[in-house]
Structure 1
Amino acid sequence: MKHKYIYLIFTKTGTWLSSLIYTFSQTKYVHASISFDNKFTKMYSFGRTNPENPFSGGFVEENLYEGVYRKFSKCECLIYQVRVTEDQYFSLQEQVENFKKEKDKYKYNFIGLFGVLLNMPIKRKNHYFCSQFVSELLMNSNIFNYEKVPELISSNELLAIENKEIIYEGFINQCYRVPGLKGMANVVMEF
């Protein structure tokens, strides 16, 4: 059976929202993204649609070296490589493509964050927060099995995924210097 790899990227940016979530959850990496790209220039999640406006949230295509990650120079990250089957990989890609096609209809699920805090799932049509989005994709593709519904899964709980291998942890503006880190050697960082 052939395998492919996906990447889960967990970050701590220092935005007011990430600081607030950290205060209540004590989770270091409060933001989660998924990528098929080992250069991390195309990552998918729910977050700021405009790095300058903390209230503009929705489905986002992120780049680990741009946007919010460039704006907040002390960003830290944890990157996992996860082995998946070809069927799982293509299922994930199809789901992400569907989000990309209709990205304007999706909004950030701010209210859902309170549901996580109160352990009461708040499902809103076309509204997601980052770990809800990533966990739903992974669950729909039979990659992540967890006892909670996506509306209650924090980024910290996504760390329980199987078949993972840590490939980097540290400051984003230093990750390109790590020898052997796939795809990073050709990235020029200008922080």
Structure 2
Amino acid sequence: MNTHNRTIYLVCSKTGTWLSTLITLFSRIQYPHASISFDESFERMYTFGRTRPCNPVSGGFAIENLNEGVYKNHSDCSCAIYRIAVTQQQYEASRRLVEEFIRNKGMYRYSLLGLVGVLFNIPIKRSDHYFCSQFVAEVLIKSEVVSSSKVPQLITTDDLRALVKNDLMYEGVVEPSLISQAMNHAKVS
């Protein structure tokens, strides 16, 4: 019996950084950044992006906190948070994949070239290089949470949002108290 009794969260955001602004400008994607979280505190979100919030060229596998770093430094951040109901097996598979990235985080780099490939619909696969939505898509696809006809190298945050569109929990400014209220309201509903 495959009961969907666990939860994974997809966090799509617009951070106000120069890269976020450029992606929005060229792609018209509302939320150009994607992260995955295994708890509703959003204190540990996993993604590819800035490894040091104040350094825009330090890119790779990153552990973010919705209440700190880039989110705290840019008051105009907005986000959409999706709840994804998963089985215990899918949850554990996703965690294992992310833990593998954590163990080897020093070997991974941000794939700026991969973003260019998305603009031209050309999948660019480079060993140990990812951009945020590619990473999230790969985790969700490999753990059989979602399926897509697109390869992860072409999946955008809009594609991720479409895959889980019925599970929107919160959309608005990155404000911890508002997000907490939305999460509590979702538990009651």
Alignment partners' CA distance in 2, 1:179 and 1:33 = 18
Is residue 181 from structure 1 mapped to residue 182 from structure 2 by the alignment? yes
1:144 counterpart residue number: 146
SS at structure 2 position matched to 1:148: coil
- Of 160-169 and 96-105, more deviation after overlay is shown by 160-169
Tell me which protein shows more helix as a share of its residues.
2
Matched residues, number:
183
Amino acid at match of 2:80: L
The equivalent position to 1:54 in structure 2, one of 56, 60, 66, is: 56
Partner of residue 128, structure 1: 130
Q: Aligned-pair distance for 1:26? A: 0.3
1:154 matches 2:153: no
TM-score if structure 1 supplies the norm length?
Answer: 0.91
- Taking the aligned partners of 2:45 and 2:180, their CA distance within structure 1 comes to 22
Q: What amino acid maps onto 2:174 in structure 1? A: I
Higher strand residue share? 1
Provide the residue aligned with 1:71 in structure 2: 73
TM-superposed CA distance for 1:51, in Å, is 1.0
Q: Secondary structure at the match of 1:124?
A: coil
For the structure 1 residues 38 and 15, does the alpha-carbon distance in structure 2 shift closer, same or farther, using more than 3 Å as the test?
same
Letter aligned with residue 49 of structure 1: T
Alignment of 1:79-158 (within 5 A): 79-158=81-160
Whether contact under 8 Å (2:117, 2:123) holds in the other structure is yes
2:59 match: secondary structure: strand
Native 8 Å contact 1:14 1:72 kept in 2:
yes
Q: Work out the CA distance in 2 between the residues paired with 1:136 and 1:57.
A: 18
Q: Structure 1: how far apart are the matches of 2:99 and 2:174?
A: 26
* Native 8 Å contact 1:83 1:164 kept in 2: no
Give the fraction of aligned pairs with identical amino acids, expressed as a percent.
49
Q: What stretches of structure 1 move > 6 A for 4+ residues in a row?
A: none
CA RMSD of aligned residues (A): 1.6
Deviations 1:107-127 (A, max 9, x none): 000010000001101101100
CA offset at residue 166 of structure 1?
A: 1.2
Aligned residue type for 1:17: L
| 1:27-58 deviation line (CA, Å, top 9, x unaligned) | 01000000001110010000001111111100
2:82/2:164 contact within 8 Å kept: no
Do the aligned partners of residues 162 and 20 (structure 1) sit closer, same or farther apart at CA in structure 2, a change above 3 Å counting?
A: closer
**1:39/1:183 contact within 8 Å kept:** no
Q: Which amino acid aligns with 1:13?
A: T
- What's the offset of the Cα at 1:177? 3.2
- Structure 2: which 5+ residue stretches go unaligned? none
Residues 53 and 123 of structure 1: is their aligned pair in 2 closer, same or farther, counting only changes over 3 Å? Answer: same
* Contact 2:47–2:136 (Cα < 8 Å) also in 1: yes
Residue 145 of structure 1, CA deviation: 1.1
